Copies of this chain bind each other. A is one copy, B any other.
Amino acid sequence: MKTAENTEKEAAALLKDKKVRPSMIRVKVLKYLLDNRNHPTADRLFSALENEIPTLSRTSIYNTLKTFLDEGIVSEITIEDGNSRYDAFTGKHGHFICEKCGSVCDFDVKCATCAPESLKGYKINQEHVYLRGLCPNCIKSGGDGNEKNFRKKRCKKSS
């Protein structure tokens, strides 16, 4: 069974592997991403960890994420404008966002690659598949998902 200490060790090992010094913040951020596959924003990560690390600053979260991005430890999900989310899972998968509640979930993409032959002169580094719509919960609770200005306002907290 997976324990908290296990993911902590796993995170540290993963960092050493990538030649990134496993400082406390880095380990805790990566551990959070491994334990909580909820595609958090930088702000959500900060909120989740500020209790554990009382001196934590937002800049450190941004620094950490930048390091992780540079080393390919996490990928950035830009499914929603102006609110980057981060994902530590490397297997190929797509992301769905509910336009009502803002939750993001993974799904398996059917095709191996979406890149066609017409891009043969290009170097492809990343591939992202994003779906937008309504999740089952929000369908149940009403609204057909075609309301105007649905979830257009910025909101800080979303899962």
Contact = CB atoms under 8 A, between A and B. Distances in A.
Interface of A: 66, 70, 76, 78-82, 84, 94, 96, 99, 107-111, 113-116, 118-119, 121-136, 139, 145-146, 148-149, 152
7 contacts: A78-B78, A78-B130, A81-B82, A96-B119, A110-B113, A121-B136, A127-B130
Given A114-B131, A122-B134, A127-B131, 15 more contacts: A66-B149, A78-B78, A79-B128, A81-B82, A96-B124, A107-B115, A108-B116, A109-B114, A110-B115, A114-B114, A123-B145, A124-B131, A125-B134, A127-B130, A128-B130
Contacts of A84: 81-82
